[in-house]
Structure 1
Amino acid sequence: MKARIVHISIERHWRDVYAFAARPENMPLWASGLGTGLEPDGEDWVAHGVLGSVRVHFTPYNDFGVLDHLVTMESGQQVNNVLRVVPNGDGTEVMFTLLKQSGMSDEQFEADADWVLKDLTTLKKLLQT
């Protein structure tokens, strides 16, 4: 699949960024594709938003800055979202690996990249002091 790394720098310690971003309850504050909230459902979370109802399975909290999450759409299609929080001196790099899904046009892929950057920018605004 065609891939693109969408990234942003945040002037805040990486552990602070990770601690905030790793909480599923916080994701709707900055990850607009998940709608207005996430509801816990066993080991997963359910979101109702622009993508319909989706099931989200998050990587457990860890010491490596890994925020991967598997999104299962109503159709059964699964999308593995690869998200990393990486230390950079006193600041942080947040990187999302966007993969062009089967059947997705180049225009849709570009729109997804723009959407991810918008969400990462929102995360930065929330955390950068």
Structure 2
Amino acid sequence: MTTFPARILHVGIDREWRAVADFVMDPANMPRWAAGLGSGLTRDGDDWIADGGPIGQVRVRFTPPNDLGVADHVVTMESGLIVHNALRVTPNGDGAEVAFVLLHRPDMDAAAFEADAAHVESDLATLKAVLEGGL
């Protein structure tokens, strides 16, 4: 059994946590803050299809809406690689904490992992700006 190194990337958002969770859990909102989705998402049954820019087309399956702030999603790359993304919104005082668990997969070298982390941090900063600036 193998586990991979992980990094938790997070951001505090000065907005009521439930509003943040509802926004984050709605796949239609992801192109507003997640740059890796390229031109947006198109629904395909229970999945969503995204033009992932340089990584090609990807299939994304989201956790159903829930009361816990869990916004996990599974991304299947054109290559067949499946990536499980853990994304959580947690109450934090009068606001919210949004956390993403980034795994250092064996197919990534250190530079690719750091680049992935930078993309996630940028996406979280965009999410904060969108939500604190208003929907």
Give me the TM-score of the superposition, normalised by structure 1. 0.97
Residue 103 of structure 1: CA displacement? 2.1
Equivalent of residue 104 in structure 1, options 92, 108, 111: 108
- 2:13 aligns with 10
Aligned pair 1:39/2:42, yes or no? yes
Aligned pair 1:61/2:65, yes or no? yes
Counterpart AA for 2:105 = Q
Counterpart AA for 1:79 = V
Note the alpha carbon deviations across 1:85-106, whole angstroms, 9 max, x for none: 0001101100000001112111
- 2:120 aligns with 116
Cα distance in 1, alignment partners of residues 38 and 105 from structure 2 = 21
Note the alpha carbon deviations across 1:11-51, whole angstroms, 9 max, x for none: 00111111111111110110111112100001000001222
Note the alpha carbon deviations across 1:49-82, whole angstroms, 9 max, x for none: 2221000000000000000000000011000000
RMSD between superposed Cα atoms in Å: 0.8
Cα distance in 1, alignment partners of residues 42 and 104 from structure 2 = 28
The number of equivalent residue pairs is: 129
Runs of at least 5 residues in structure 2 that lack an aligned partner in the other structure: none
Deviation beyond 3 Å, 4+ runs, structure 1: none
